[in-house]
A and B are shown apart, each in its own frame.
Chain A
């Protein structure tokens, strides 16, 4: 097949599956942004879609679409690299394909129920079949079980492939991490009346995913990506990966304590959570150093410019979003005023985008390159303004939203908590102050900027490399 033309014959079995995962991921990414815009608009015009698609519904779809598209991106990325890394064909390809369709069908049903049924009566049946009402993991219980089964199939495919082929540092870390990702999900699959205990376990899923196991997972993807795009030395990249795992889990596991300041748990979590979460930015600094150093050593000569740009965006986005914006309000003395305010959403937006959206987008570009027969994607590609503008608009839009939400958050914590006595009246007073409202208006404007970046990104992903017959520029090995 010729270079520049889309063809599955360019891809391995795992990579063909990865393209399917990526496609659903992009659709869900678009859904995330659409429902985010609707929810954002409701802050400005509360009557908008009132009792049709209420804020709670839009927000639930917004955050759930995010979690699921990122998981799809990760699963796709792992299917993408597994065969090259193991040196053998994917084990259990038919089962993997079935897993994809079952999972996608389940996600579709869950979203349709979210949108058209929305809520149910106060019985356990509602939690089993409509939604579980727990932020981020709202998926009803039947879907939880389905997700676990699909993850087990996925785990079988990946670990069996590595077992049949060869292991590497990257694949070892990856497989152990997948065990933790799947195992931790179980902590979110039961109902309990005691809210303190419920939230204790709920954070095992949320925190241990996004601030520990997902970080390790993207560390593996990043390591592989730098080898592929830059030709970075595997030995150095693997050593860095181990350092990052040590720092990440060394700080992140007990960093969990910053969620245990106010849920009824004992006061020693102030010390444990404050101390270890203050260390959480350290591995993220290491990642920035790692990415920039490797790029510098190779003088930025690489096989895929958009992908490398997004890998570097990931390194910085992870550091600023998860590291700086997380640290900013992680100490209990500050968190007492900021917990449960727009500070959290400011941090949440930049962290999820910076740490996870970016690296998934990088992998999408790696995907499209090979799908077009390892087409040339280095300097002087046609229409390169598209990927550059998409990257700029997405990063700018997200930065704008983050800062706007932070200003609203400052206003909220000051008026509602510090001055107002944290009552309902104080809450609503804060929500109506001019600077809070201005923050929300600007968040919406930057949201449109972000959405325009996404449209451009999708257009670029569909067209980049089309008709280009130059072969991919092979990365040069480092001069170590």
Chain B
């Protein structure tokens, strides 16, 4: 039996090759554009420079985009020390590497990706769990160093194990989390309610 043209093997082989090639090219073009847009400190402002940890971070509802966006406020140096971009990069890097080495993603999510046994850390810097702005930094460091004693399970029995995080690592993790909270995530997580801070608007 003769095969009709639209069911021929040869036609579909060509279609498969052309579609795959075309989609790959489109992806490469979009990747080039996206990587440019998410450069730290880039002009799009979607991902902030690491020295943003020297400032206060707010979220403000953007009517045009119909979602809350990060706003960088006045000077509010982390642990009272203003850092250069290089120093900030080094500190945030130390924090980020520590989150890898301790396998934080095995329980938590970052930007919503990871495991679901513990809260998302995308905006943990701004979480009301830390009570007030004044005590936040120290509370975070204390918690990371001894999470069992300082458990914040909100009535649940779940608690973070002691991961032998040193004082230096804890400070670096807090720096990383502060920087992370400034990424423009297109409104994720939905409806986030930040901690109240000085100069709140």
B20 with A199: CB separation less than 8 A? no
A56 with B107: CB separation less than 8 A? yes
Contacts A254-B23, A418-B191, A424-B127 hold; do A246 and B97 have CB atoms under 8 A apart?
no
In the bound complex, residues from chain A placing their C-beta under 8 Å from that of B155 are 428, 432
Contacts A249-B19, A264-B46 hold; do A51 and B119 have CB atoms under 8 A apart?
no
A249 with B9: CB separation less than 8 A? no
A421 with B20: CB separation less than 8 A? no
A242 with B12: CB separation less than 8 A? yes
B9 with A265: CB separation less than 8 A? no
Interface residue A130 (Cβ < 8 Å from any Cβ of B): yes
In the complex, what distance in Å separates the CA atom of A195 from the CA atom of B113? 11
A417 with B97: CB separation less than 8 A? no
Interface residue B5 (Cβ < 8 Å from any Cβ of A): no
A432 with B185: CB separation less than 8 A? no
Chain B 102-124 interface 0/1 with A at a Cβ cutoff of 8 Å (1 = within): 11111101111111110110011
In the bound complex, residues from chain B placing their C-beta under 8 Å from that of A43 are 117
Chain A 163-200 interface 0/1 with B at a Cβ cutoff of 8 Å (1 = within): 00000010001000000000000000001011111011
Interface residue A83 (Cβ < 8 Å from any Cβ of B): no
Total A-B pairs in contact (CB under 8 Å)? 267
Interface residue A238 (Cβ < 8 Å from any Cβ of B): yes
In the complex, what distance in Å separates the CA atom of A200 from the CA atom of B16? 26
A264 with B16: CB separation less than 8 A? no
Interface residue A342 (Cβ < 8 Å from any Cβ of B): yes
B102 with A340: CB separation less than 8 A? no
Contacts A119-B163, A194-B38, A246-B15 hold; do A42 and B117 have CB atoms under 8 A apart?
yes
Q: Which of A59, A133, A196, A422 contacts B100 (CB 8 A)?
A: A133
In the bound complex, residues from chain B placing their C-beta under 8 Å from that of A130 are 101
B162 with A133: CB separation less than 8 A? no
A127 with B97: CB separation less than 8 A? yes
A428 with B156: CB separation less than 8 A? yes
Contacts A250-B23, A254-B23, A340-B112 hold; do A428 and B153 have CB atoms under 8 A apart?
yes
Q: Which of A123, A195, A420 contacts B97 (CB 8 A)?
A: A123
B101 with A422: CB separation less than 8 A? no
Interface residue A339 (Cβ < 8 Å from any Cβ of B): yes
In the bound complex, residues from chain B placing their C-beta under 8 Å from that of A313 are none
Smallest beta-carbon distance B48→chain A, Å: 10
Interface residue B92 (Cβ < 8 Å from any Cβ of A): yes
Contacts A196-B46, A341-B116 hold; do A239 and B7 have CB atoms under 8 A apart?
yes
Max chain B C-beta neighbours (<10 A), residue from A122, A196, A238, A270: A122
Max chain A C-beta neighbours (<10 A), residue from B38, B65, B193: B38
In the complex, what distance in Å separates the CA atom of A480 from the CA atom of B1? 8
A55 with B33: CB separation less than 8 A? no
Chain A 263-277 interface 0/1 with B at a Cβ cutoff of 8 Å (1 = within): 111111110100000
In the bound complex, residues from chain A placing their C-beta under 8 Å from that of B107 are 54-56, 59
In the complex, what distance in Å separates the CA atom of A344 from the CA atom of B117? 13
Interface residue A243 (Cβ < 8 Å from any Cβ of B): yes
Smallest beta-carbon distance B194→chain A, Å: 8
Interface residue A316 (Cβ < 8 Å from any Cβ of B): no
Q: Please name the residue on chain A nearest to B108 by beta carbon.
A: A56
B158 with A46: CB separation less than 8 A? yes
A424 with B124: CB separation less than 8 A? yes
In the complex, what distance in Å separates the CA atom of A131 from the CA atom of B103? 7
In the complex, what distance in Å separates the CA atom of A127 from the CA atom of B102? 10
Q: Which of B7, B97, B115, B158 contacts A56 (CB 8 A)?
A: B115
Smallest beta-carbon distance B39→chain A, Å: 8
B112 with A59: CB separation less than 8 A? no
In the bound complex, residues from chain A placing their C-beta under 8 Å from that of B111 are 195-196, 199, 262-264
Chain B 184-201 interface 0/1 with A at a Cβ cutoff of 8 Å (1 = within): 111111111100000000
B103 with A263: CB separation less than 8 A? no
Q: Please name the residue on chain B nearest to A130 by beta carbon.
A: B101
B128 with A246: CB separation less than 8 A? no
In the bound complex, residues from chain B placing their C-beta under 8 Å from that of A340 are 109, 112-114, 116, 120, 189
Chain A 343-382 interface 0/1 with B at a Cβ cutoff of 8 Å (1 = within): 0110000000000000000000000000000000000000
A133 with B119: CB separation less than 8 A? no
B38 with A345: CB separation less than 8 A? no
Q: Which of A133, A202, A243 contacts B102 (CB 8 A)?
A: A133
In the bound complex, residues from chain B placing their C-beta under 8 Å from that of A263 are 38, 111-113, 183, 185
Q: Which of B102, B153, B191 contacts A119 (CB 8 A)?
A: B102
A422 with B103: CB separation less than 8 A? no
Contacts A56-B106, A239-B8 hold; do A427 and B100 have CB atoms under 8 A apart?
no
Interface residue B81 (Cβ < 8 Å from any Cβ of A): no
Smallest beta-carbon distance A316→chain B, Å: 24
A195 with B180: CB separation less than 8 A? yes
B103 with A199: CB separation less than 8 A? no
Q: Which of A169, A193, A196 contacts B92 (CB 8 A)?
A: A193
> Can you offer 27 A-B residue contacts whose CB atoms are under 8 A?
A55-B106, A60-B106, A119-B102, A127-B100, A127-B101, A130-B101, A131-B100, A131-B101, A133-B99, A133-B103, A135-B114, A173-B16, A193-B96, A194-B38, A195-B96, A196-B111, A196-B183, A253-B23, A259-B113, A264-B111, A264-B184, A267-B65, A336-B189, A418-B190, A422-B123, A428-B158, A431-B158
> Which 6 interchain pairs have the tightest Cβ spacing?
A56-B106, A122-B98, A133-B100, A340-B112, A421-B193, A262-B188
